[in-house]
Amino acid sequence: MLEGLEKMLAKGVDNALLRFGLGKGYLDAGEYARAAEHFQRCLAFDPQYSAAWKLLGKALLEQGDRPAAEQAWQQGIAAAQAHGDKQAEKEMTVFLKRLQRQAPPG
């Protein structure tokens, strides 16, 4: 799947959906930095893409960047609220609360 999406990108196709697919693929493959990069590009196309905010937060947290993950989820909650996306809003609220309850590592 990733290979096909990367070929599309190389051919000049670039949009929010393609970037979301690449981000999801890299997230699933454990390549968190690449995933975060694609989610950020996705959000440059569509800042209201709540699913991209949700997964960007996960990718950032997996990289150990707790403040950035928290910020992504906060922005994602605002985007979800603006679109009436209750499910995404609930999920990111849970992730955010869970993150805030955890003591920072160290």
Extents of the domains making up the chain? 2-101
Q: For 3-54, what is each residue's pLDDT tens digit?
A: 999 999 999 999 999 999 999 999 999 999 999 999 999 999 999 999 999 9
Q: Is the pLDDT of residue 104 over 80?
A: no
How far from each other are the two terminal CA atoms of the chain, in whole angstroms?
A: 38
Q: Model pTM?
A: 0.93
Contact of 18 with 2, CB cutoff 8 Å: no
For 86, the token pair is: 């209750």
Question: Please, which pLDDT band fits residue 105 given cuts at 50, 70 and 90?
Answer: low
- % of the chain at pLDDT higher than 90: 93
Contact of 58 with 30, CB cutoff 8 Å: no
Question: Please, which pLDDT band fits residue 102 given cuts at 50, 70 and 90?
Answer: confident
Number of C-beta neighbours around residue 31 at 10 A: 17
- Only one residue has tokens 């309850």, namely 101
Q: In angstroms, what CA-CA distances link 72 with 9, 12, 34, 66, 99?
A: 25, 28, 16, 10, 12
What topology is assigned to 2-101 in CATH? 1.25.40
Task: Provide the mean pLDDT of the chain.
Answer: 95
Question: Please, which pLDDT band fits residue 80 given cuts at 50, 70 and 90?
Answer: very high
